[in-house]
Amino acid sequence: MELKTYIAKGIEKAGSLSALAREIGVIRESLSHANSGRRGLPPVSCGKLADLIGVDRWDVVAASEILTEKDEAKRRYLLPFVLATAQNVMTTTARNGINSIL
C-alpha cells in the first residue's frame, strides 16, 4: 500500500493533517510532503502512524522508504512488503464485500 493511503487513514483517525502531524511527531509541512510523495517519513513517525491506524509498523516504514530509495536493489527488497500489504487489503475488502452481499 502507498504511504499516502496510510496517511489518509491517519488523518481520518486524528481528524486533520495538522493533528496527525502532531500525533506522529512531525511538522505539518513534512507530513504534507510525504502525503504528496515528495519525501518519506522518519521511521519513528512511521511506527506511530502504524500504531494509530492499526497496521504493521514494517508496512508503513517500507512504504515510506520506497518513496525515496535510489538504490534499485534496496527498492526491489522493499517492494514485496508494499505489494503484499496492498494484496492483503484488496483480499480483505473483497471478502468483506462478499460477506455483506451474502
> 56-78 pLDDT, tens per residue?
999 999 999 988 888 999 888 88
Query: CA 63, CA 92: separation in Å to the nearest integer?
Result: 19
For residue 101, is pLDDT > 60?
no
What's the pLDDT score for residue 88? 58
Residue ranges covered by each domain of the chain = 3-101
Percent of the chain scoring above 70 in pLDDT = 82
Looking at the domain 3-101, which fold is it?
A: 434 Repressor (Amino-terminal Domain) (1.10.260)
Tell me the angle at which helices 43-53 and 17-24 cross, rounded to the nearest 10 degrees: 120
Residue with cell 494484496: 87
What's the pLDDT score for residue 90? 52
What's the pLDDT score for residue 100? 46
